[in-house]
Amino acid sequence: MLDILPVILYVFRHMIEGTKIDYTALAADPNATAILIELLKQKDDVTRLLTEQIEKFKSQVQWLQQQLFGRKSEKIDPAQLWMDALTLEAVEQNPPSEPAAAVETPVEAHTRKRTPHGRSELPEHLPREINVIDVPESERVLPDGTLRPVIGHEDTERIGYRPGQVFVQVTRRMKYGSPSGSEEAGVVTAPAPDLLVPRCKADESLLAHLVVSKYVDHLPLYRIEQIFRRSDITLARTTMCDWLVETGLAVQPLVDRIRHRLFQIGLLHSDDTPVDLQDYKSGKPKGRQMLEARLWVASSSPRDGPWTVYDFTLGRGGKWPRLFFADYSGAIVCDAYSGYDGLEDETGRIHLYGCWAHARRYFLKAHRSSHPLEGAEYIALIRQLYQVEREIQDGSMDIPHDQINALCLALRTEKSAPILASIRERIDAQMASVQPGSALGKALSYTDNNWERLKAYAEDPRLPIDNNPAEQMIRPIAVGRKNWLFFGSERGGRAAANLMSLVATCKRAGVEPLGYLRDVFKRLPSTLTTHLDDLLPGNWKPTS
């Protein structure tokens, strides 16, 4: 074996110190060939490592630029993706020639044609306030002194607006006494009504307004405070915050019934998102730190009802899904977060299924970074899977409900299964040759690791292709936290999760949230536990 260790140590010492290597002296060494071969191997390894890091950093920069300046929509045409990749390749191989000198060509002036806007009829249910404008009195008299007869009128309708009216609701309880000398002496007073929040100065209608303003319209409490102040009404945001917390905790029995109805289905979607929580142990209000808490959502598929439940937790550990789904048995469609893995135990009580929207997102990142052509190919195949689902949805409108599953299974077996086989074949062919740390390598790894969960939907007609119903329920939280920013306490987070559960279920059921909450807040305190289902958004009937 050649004694090249001292020379290699000499080379490495210069590389570490950053000094120049004397290659002339190395060439005079009898072992120069072996030394140079060893150096080339080391440099190849370093070059490969640096190339991987450069690709990784380029992907990160492109992703950050996309988040700051690009479109957030993932809707894209795969044919255009292929065209973009081929165009870039052609431009790189054949750079364009110098552009010709521009020639000024006069352009005739033209006018823009405006499309007239249509005027729709105003809704009939809106109350009408009539403002009569009469002709001057001098013009109502004819030259001979007689009055002109009224032959009609012309009406012009415009939509008016008056700020919301705030009033004081007085509950007057009648008292009856006994006449002097009667056998029965005493005072009889009408019983006080049951209240959702005892000793609360806000009426149920105001509580409903606050809930809708914050969790439907996403208004923070300081803006609501300013709106009331314009009407000369002082309602401190701290007071309104306390009202909302107590209201959210008071509706817990109703949220438990929604959760029970959701778990009865046996198939639900789940996802989570971060929210900030004030840390009261970190000092004064201005110096308080923010802790990262989580809001979890569990929702039914659209055809299984409107049921949606949020849960607030102090972290994202695997114990939180296990606690929430402790009494659930069935299927859960979710992402590949490892915290869900603990739900699948030897009892087979819960089965997890994957989401093709998440897999597509990885391939979209690969297309936008280092592998535009390969990413486009996978996106095109996934698009074909979704075309089959649209065909199922269109065909199910014309057949009885009990035949939908048979149609779904037949089309998925005929059309989706071959597409899945093609995706699997491509993954197997490319896994070994693609760098694991690249965007395409991550996409292939994600799809390969979750393949059994991803392909299972083609064998079960009840399973959906993705987890979009849960992601749609996450969007209102993303919009809301940009306005109300954080939760003030753990109690506030749990109360907000309950109120968002009611609001989200109302919206999915097509129920107007303000009217629903205003009625249910009055009826809930006196409703028996056995009759709580009558107050659920899917079953609710307003009182006269």
pLDDT tens by residue, 185-205? 678 888 888 888 888 888 888
pLDDT band at 109 (very low <50, low <70, confident <90, very high): low
Q: To the nearest whole percent, how much of the chain has pLDDT over 90?
A: 29
Q: Which residues contact 423 (CB under 8 A, 6 or more apart)?
A: 378, 381, 382, 447
The residue among 465, 490, 525 that closes a domain is 465
Do residue 249 and residue 305 come from a single domain?
yes
What are the φ and ψ backbone dihedral angles of 507, each rounded to 5 degrees? -65, -40
| In a domain? residue 194 | no
* pLDDT of 101: 60
Q: Which residues contact 208 (CB under 8 A, 6 or more apart)?
A: 513, 514, 517, 518, 521
pLDDT tens digits for range 228-272: 888 888 889 999 999 999 999 999 999 999 999 999 999 999 999
> What's the sign of the alpha-carbon dihedral 77, 79, 85, 88?
negative
Q: What is the mean pLDDT of residues 466-489?
A: 87
With contact defined as beta carbons under 8 Å apart, do 132 and 154 qualify? Answer: no
Where is pLDDT greater, at 541 or 120?
541
> What's the sign of the alpha-carbon dihedral 77, 81, 86, 88?
positive
Q: Which residues pair with 351 in a beta bridge?
A: 331
| In a domain? residue 172 | no
Q: Which range, of 254-258, 342-346, 349-353, 493-497, averages the lowest pLDDT? A: 342-346
Mean pLDDT of the chain: 82
Residue 133: both structure tokens together: 């404008």
Q: Is the pLDDT of residue 1 over 50?
A: no
Do residue 323 and residue 391 come from a single domain?
no
Where is pLDDT greater, at 77 or 297?
297
- Please count the structural domains in the chain: 3
pLDDT band at 403 (very low <50, low <70, confident <90, very high): confident
Q: How many residues does the chain have?
A: 544
> What's the sign of the alpha-carbon dihedral 50, 55, 56, 60?
positive
* pLDDT of 2: 43
Do residue 376 and residue 233 come from a single domain?
no
Do residue 301 and residue 410 come from a single domain?
no
Do residue 368 and residue 347 come from a single domain?
no
Do residue 245 and residue 337 come from a single domain?
yes
The residue among 440, 465, 490 that closes a domain is 465
* pLDDT of 43: 73
* pLDDT of 198: 86
| In a domain? residue 44 | no
| In a domain? residue 92 | no
Q: Which residues pair with 147 in a beta bridge?
A: 141
| In a domain? residue 270 | yes
* pLDDT of 366: 86
Do residue 344 and residue 386 come from a single domain?
no
Residue 30: both structure tokens together: 């009898």
Residue with tokens 């292709």: 465
pLDDT band at 278 (very low <50, low <70, confident <90, very high): confident
- Residues of 426-439 as b/e, b for ≥16 C-beta within 10 angstroms? bbeebeeebeeebb
| In a domain? residue 164 | no
Q: Is the pLDDT of residue 517 over 90?
A: yes
Do residue 286 and residue 424 come from a single domain?
no
Q: To the nearest whole percent, how much of the chain has pLDDT over 70?
A: 80
Q: Is the pLDDT of residue 299 over 90?
A: yes
- Residues of 324-351 as b/e, b for ≥16 C-beta within 10 angstroms? bbeebeebbbbbbeebbeebeeeeeebb
| In a domain? residue 286 | yes
Do residue 461 and residue 518 come from a single domain?
no
Question: What pTM value is reported for the model?
Answer: 0.75
* pLDDT of 245: 93
Do residue 327 and residue 440 come from a single domain?
no
Q: Which residues contact 365 (CB under 8 A, 6 or more apart)?
A: 59, 63, 375, 439, 442, 443
pLDDT band at 353 (very low <50, low <70, confident <90, very high): very high
Do residue 341 and residue 322 come from a single domain?
yes
Domain that holds residue 19: 1-37
- Classify 308 as helix, strand or coil: strand
CB atoms within 10 A of CB 226: 11
* pLDDT of 152: 85
| Residues 524, 532: Cα–Cα separation, whole Å | 8
Q: What is the mean pLDDT of residues 405-429?
A: 91
Q: Is the pLDDT of residue 126 over 90?
A: no
* pLDDT of 514: 92
- Angular region, 42: left φ>0, alpha ψ -120 to 50, beta rest: alpha
Do residue 400 and residue 290 come from a single domain?
no
| In a domain? residue 215 | yes
